[in-house]
Every structure is written in C-alpha cells, then in structure tokens.
Amino acid sequence: DTGVSQNPRHKITKRGQNVTFRCDPISEHNRLYWYRQTLGQGPEFLTYFQNEAQLEKSRLLSDRFSAERPKGSFSTLEIQRTEQGDSAMYLCASSYGLAGTYVYEQFFGPGTRLTVL
C-alpha cells in the first residue's frame, strides 16, 4: 500500500491554458474523490467516482472543470481556460465503499498546487 499519489505536485500555468492533474488511488479502493482547497479554507467537494462511474458532478465549479476515471483506476481532473481564481490546492482521496453506503475512511493524497498567473 503506497497511498494515494497525485501528479504533478505543483503546476504553474498562464491564464487561459488548460491543465490536467492525475490521481492514483490505493489499488483496492473503488471510490475516488476530488476536492479543491483554497488558502484558509477546508476542502471543498468537487466530484466523486464509484469505480468508473461519476456519481456526483453537480459540485464541479464550472463547465471548465471535468473529471474522468477510465477503467475505474486512476483519475484525471482537467481545467480548461484557467483563470486566476482557479489557483488552489486540488486534493484527491480514495476509499472503499459499497454503492449507497458511506462508512469508510477516505485516504487523501498530498495534493496538486495550481498557480495561475
């Protein structure tokens, strides 16, 4: 068990560019979550997957944000046409859970810090 990994750890981009972040969950975990954390705030839920199915995406911040989890393994979060307000830490977490239940601990990755110039 190597934990949840996220790449890159840091990303600096110019406004208007697209960025993509990757999350590799703990191997046996079937749930994967994305959060955004801005300075001085707690994590803000964005979306989550049960295996390859994206079960909740209404909290994605705008249509510039999208996430995928092909084959139910790693996941990517893409932000198109980045804006300075997108600068934040993007956290990924994984857990094991049966559909319709939530009693399992989420394990968080170290995050990807995005800076939009």
Work out which of 8, 17, 18, 56 binds other proteins, going by CB under 8 A: 56
CB within 8 A of 62, min separation 6: which ones? Answer: none
Which of positions 69-108 make contact with other proteins (CB under 8 A)? 91, 93, 100-103, 105-108
104 in the Ramachandran plot: left (φ > 0), alpha (ψ -120 to 50) or beta? Answer: beta
Closest distance of CB 45 from other proteins, Å:
5
> On the CB side of 34, how many CA atoms lie within 13 Å of its CA?
32
**Max Cα distance, the chain (Å):** 41
Closest distance of CB 52 from other proteins, Å:
18
Count, residues near other proteins per rule CB under 8 A: 24
Residue 51 binds other proteins (CB under 8 A): no
Tokens of 38: 């801005």
Q: Which residues bind other proteins (CB under 8 A)?
A: 4, 40-45, 48, 55-56, 59, 91, 93, 100-103, 105-111
